[in-house]
Structure 1
Amino acid sequence: MKEFKLDNEPKITSGFTIPDGYFDAFSEKLLVQLPEQESKIISIFSSQKIRNFAVAAILILMLSVPIYTKYSTKQEEIDSVTLENYIAYQSNISEEEIVNLLQQEDLDKMKINFNVDDAAIEDALNSNSNLEQYIID
């Protein structure tokens, strides 16, 4: 392998040149351009900023807690059987009050039309020996 010596090869010039004596007076020129007075130091931890951040944090918490509780709680729908059992056995509301609270649409849905002839009713009553039970209930 042939040896390669950097010192012996001709060097490529970059094309950029510096005027003679440029860096001799550079530091003096730079010091003249700098401002003479020192800049004001502003503290990050000033009491006013801390107070403002505390107020902002409290406001964010106050607004986010109701939103979080609204969307985090899952509302389960009560099935109709459970609701009917509660109303029938646990509440102090009478049947008349419940009927007064219902709308006409609900009452129309509750109507049941029995297409039974009078003759069929008489036959059922005659065939059943427990006629007194029907009269009492």
Structure 2
Amino acid sequence: MKPFKLDNEPKITQGFTMPEGYFDSFTDKVLTQLNKEEPKVISIFSRRKTWYYAAAAVVVMLLSVPIYTNYATSSEEVDAVALEDYINNHTTISDDEIADLLDKEDLEKMKLELNLEDEAVEDILLNNTDLEQYIID
């Protein structure tokens, strides 16, 4: 390989040249081209007020939602499905406890009017062979 010496080889010239006194008048040229209008100043304090209002609205919403749900769901009426599930799952409930859960109106709705005559009762007793099972249960 041929020895390479930096001092002996011709150097590459730069592609760009700068005119004489270019940077002396550069700042003057730029300042004359700039727009002389003053920028609009926006106060920081006016922005803070909008943040205060937004934060206050969020706090009010966070406090009002749980309070509303507590008052809206505090109904004294018992859901029929929940009552039926409770009775099915707790088989040790007595008739008195069931009667305590029901209102007078509910009890009156549950009344059955059975107008059975003595002859109809005798026929049922004679024809039904499972009566002993019902008595045992």
The TM-score with structure 2 as length reference comes to 0.48
The TM-score with structure 1 as length reference comes to 0.48
